[in-house]
Chains A and B, each alone.
Chain A
């Protein structure tokens, strides 16, 4: 049953020998030892396991491994380099945007997908983009503020880069 599945994980090409029907989350957490993506429900209903699949946020718990073949997978660990955190990660620290933090990996991933397609979202757009992610501690508003802060920081960064290029 095991098969060889090739995909790019956080920028590095990986080959995994596994049953292609295995949930992508199990491969990430088990075989590859990247535990930042969380198991929450196993049914794609809470968003704790969200990863970027070719830039789109998907629930890795109900995405089979074969669906990642030949694609690019980004987990929370891959959002940043250690020396340069993603603006979302910095903003979540500044806003202290969590209580227990179990849902945060998946929320960062959903927010990253939003910002990559809409660099200047409204508050309502941020909320809508996070509606498939559940938070039980009630840290929603802090997280929304953090995403809006990260969007601003990202724009400032982009305009600074344009400035230095000119």
Chain B
């Protein structure tokens, strides 16, 4: 095939074409893109919109490469019936993997149409230009994508022979195009899965015990069966639910069922006030994450040792998880879900149901922000199980707020211990970083053991999956951002993954990076304080990566770091990381005031995500990430007694309010010709560290256990920290 001459095609060192992003696993062009005779462009990504603005970024990329107006581009939601399999929308990888794939697909499709147009018009390809889908040649020669749409088949495999445009000639990528989904959301137009109504739809609710893994000992169904509008009562082992004609009837039946159910005690939970001791006393699987030996080791003069912890943290989506399922006879099931990976969910559903995956369609419908693996997948199985009793009618299941806060997976608690060997001048000559905690990933579709909540509740239960950690090469889990970014001559990183899991854990935004960066960056400040060195200078002294130095200097300049004027009860602090060691560089300066509680007044953030597809989208992600991280850092912890999770309402799981939110300023350090990397999780770890360091700067007190509440500060004062 022919190509349009512009930037060079991507090749490896051996000269073979390198397939970018997720194109390698999904090479068929038609799976990604369709051009219609009516003049529309349909992009079909495998990634899903979760409020991060990915659909807009993809539309920008497609419109640029194809030379069409943005208004022609439509994005279809991911479905296992048609979309490319791009795994899970997570890890700040959507632009990096999916965006780059869409860019190459569009470049190749443009080239195919140019070739077809050249043939039809009898002119050289080089003489043709595209304007909003119209292909123009010398004289009056013209045709269009739309005229040629039936002629050019996209049922072919990508070759990646056509290189995308150079960054300098892109019109839309790099500009703050307004998000395509926002108008619907300000006018209250139905768009979320919660708003979806299907003909003859029924409503389901699932009853779960307060104590995790309690068994159903007895059940009086009389009152529930008497509820008007009840369609079915479903019981399969410890899985218990109702199906009714209306949502109110389903709620009433659920309440009646709750009153009639007797549960055993559950499995004992740990002591929430002794998390570090508990984490370090469990059976573990130990892994050496990374190690470097100094070529000429120097003998340490002394060793400094500190331990840091973070609690279990809830995703806390504002919308409770929701799904709809509909069986056609007993042969197959259609599922509408706001999960992050339609194929992954389908694969676990197939295991539970003993069905071939082809019998199941999982179609994505937008939900609220999820911030990782929340209850979205679990509620989908709930809906599928309840819909089996609905005679072919669709069943919509919505979790309660208590389900969402107390029964969805949590971000794992962690204990991080750091030891640094210091030479006579206080220079770091050795560094040891040890992690204890549950695994950070229990997502469906990745393991032989399935991970959906109801699967372990059935009469014939599936074994419970104990969360694991992905390998560091794909971003890691508990060990994410544990390998030092600083130029230490030697280091060793060890991760201990718990083999018990009394509280179910899975992916929460940034996984282990939040605690690891909090620990490393707090430790560096402790060291700087001991040496009487400026924390910025200490970091720069140990950093040779120019892009790392650039964000630190940019954040410090923005915050006026050097011009700080000390005042009573106020302080500033710094935090830095390159997310995953391979993603975005981000530095944060926090300014705090401490009176009754810690008030973060300002966060100055500098970020480098390589190429910026949508600057306002990057700003929005970074601002949002920083504010969410401030909430985790100051307020959030899953609360529990020895029997049950007690933080099952917003009153018992408070998050940052409008009046408590700091001013956030974001500076993007732009590298338009560098590979784009994600922005969604880059600010979390640096923000936590910056706040902790600012609190120390304000009070001279070091809080090493998150969240940094008034009680924790008083405890640290008591302990003389």
Contact = CB atoms under 8 A, between A and B. Distances in A.
Does B bind A? yes
Interface of A: 19, 22, 26, 30, 33-43, 45-46, 48, 75-77, 80, 82, 85, 89, 92-93, 96, 98-105, 108, 124, 126-128, 130-131, 133-144
Contact of A100 (B50, B178, B186, B655): B50
Contacts of A42: 400-401
A31 to B, nearest CB: 9
A136 B650 contact: no
A136 B658 contact: no
Given A26-B248, A136-B655, A43 B187 contact: no
A98 B664 contact: no
Contact of B624 (A36, A40, A137): A137
B620 A40 contact: no
Interface of B: 50-53, 176, 178-179, 181-183, 185-190, 192, 194-195, 197, 246-248, 316-320, 367-369, 371, 398, 400-401, 616, 620-621, 623-628, 631, 649-651, 655-659, 661, 663-664
B650 A41 contact: yes
Nearest to B51: A100
Contacts of A102: 51, 192, 317-319, 367-369
Given A102-B368, A130-B658, A85 B187 contact: yes
Contacts of A142: 620, 623
A48 B185 CA distance: 12
B51 A39 contact: no
B187 to A, nearest CB: 6
A101 B190 CA distance: 12
Contacts of A135: 318, 658
Given A30-B246, A98-B182, A77 B187 contact: yes
Given A45-B651, A136-B371, A141-B661, A105 B319 contact: no
B401 A30 contact: no
A22 B248 CA distance: 8
A98 B185 contact: yes
Given A96-B176, A96-B178, A104-B185, 12 more contacts: A38-B192, A41-B650, A77-B188, A93-B186, A100-B50, A101-B182, A126-B658, A134-B657, A136-B369, A138-B624, A139-B620, A141-B663
Contacts of B627: 138, 140-141
A43 B656 CA distance: 18
Contacts of A38: 192, 194, 318-319
Contact of A140 (B181, B195, B649, B661): B661
Contacts of B367: 100, 102
Contacts of B624: 99, 137-139
A43 B649 contact: yes
Nearest to B369: A100
B625 A138 contact: yes
A77 B320 CA distance: 22
Contact of B317 (A80, A136, A140): A136
Contacts of B195: 35
Contacts of A100: 50-51, 318, 367-369
B185 A133 contact: no
B659 A127 contact: yes
Given A46-B650, A130-B658, A96 B179 contact: yes
A39 B193 CA distance: 12
Nearest to A101: B185
Nearest to B176: A96
Contacts of B369: 99-100, 102, 136-137
B311 to A, nearest CB: 18
B668 to A, nearest CB: 15
Contacts of B319: 38-40, 48, 102
A75 B320 CA distance: 21
A99 B53 contact: yes
A45 B651 CA distance: 7
Contacts of A80: 187
A143 B186 CA distance: 12
Contacts of A75: 188
Contacts of A36: 187-189
Closest 9 CB pairs of A and B: A36-B188, A100-B51, A138-B627, A101-B185, A138-B624, A102-B368, A100-B369, A76-B188, A35-B195
15 contacts: A34-B188, A35-B194, A36-B187, A38-B319, A39-B319, A41-B320, A80-B187, A85-B187, A99-B51, A102-B192, A102-B367, A104-B185, A134-B318, A136-B371, A141-B664
Residue among A82, A138, A142 with most chain B CB within 10 A? A138
Given A76-B187, A96-B179, A101-B181, A26 B247 contact: yes
Given A40-B320, A93-B186, A105-B188, A136 B659 contact: no
B620 A92 contact: no
Contacts of B176: 96
A93 B183 contact: yes
B620 A99 contact: yes
B185 A96 contact: no
B367 to A, nearest CB: 8
Contact of B51 (A26, A35, A137): A137
Contacts of A93: 178, 182-183, 186
B543 to A, nearest CB: 28
Contacts of B53: 99
B413 to A, nearest CB: 20
A133 B318 CA distance: 10
B620 A96 contact: yes
A67 B606 CA distance: 50
Contacts of B190: 35
B398 A39 contact: yes
Contact of B659 (A22, A85, A131, A143): A131
A34 B368 CA distance: 18
B650 A134 contact: yes
A76 B191 CA distance: 14
Contacts of B368: 100-103, 136
A142 B658 CA distance: 11
A127 B627 CA distance: 15
B52 A99 contact: yes
Contacts of A130: 658
